[in-house]
Amino acid sequence: MAGQMRVTPAQVRAAAPTFTAAGEAVGSALAALTGALPASAGMCGDDEAGQRFRASYEPRVRELTKAMQGLAKGLDSLGPGLVATAGNIEHADGSSVMHSTGR
């Protein structure tokens, strides 16, 4: 059917490790980046042009670092969230059925 998507709980659960791995990869890339950046300290020089460049460069590095941290955390949290969603889907039918008390 057009405009619809059907997935099974197993498919949702199987996708979880992909997001966790992506979060770890972004975290590793960020660690490599932040580990390498100090070696380039002073690259701009102390002249006026270098100072202007540094003034615009350093805030962007902080923004990028913060964005990558958020991306890594978000991707990493999707894995457990998908596992929980799969469990919720599996248990939704049973939870929505009214049970007889036998009276």
Q: Is the pLDDT of residue 100 over 70?
A: no
Whether residue 23 lies inside any domain: the answer is yes
- The domain in which residue 44 lies consists of 9-87
pLDDT, tens only, 8-23? 999 999 999 999 999 9
> Are 51 and 103 a contacting pair, CB within 8 Å?
no
HSE-CB at 30 with a 13 A cutoff on CA atoms is 19
Whether residue 2 lies inside any domain: the answer is no
Report residue 78 as tokens. 């999707």
What's the total number of domains in the chain? 1
Dihedral through CA 50, CA 53, CA 58, CA 59, nearest 10?
Answer: 150
In this structure, the number of other CB atoms found within 10 A of the CB of residue 41 comes to: 8
Q: What is the DSSP letter of 8?
A: -
Whether residue 25 lies inside any domain: the answer is yes
pLDDT, tens only, 80-96? 999 999 999 888 866 76
pLDDT, tens only, 66-80? 999 999 999 999 999
Per-residue pLDDT, averaged over 31-50, amounts to 85
Residue 98: pLDDT band by 50, 70, 90 thresholds? low
In this structure, the number of other CB atoms found within 10 A of the CB of residue 22 comes to: 17
Whether residue 4 lies inside any domain: the answer is no
- Of 10, 30, 13, 41, whose CA–CA distance to 72 is shortest? 30
Whether residue 13 lies inside any domain: the answer is yes
CATH at 78:
1.10.287
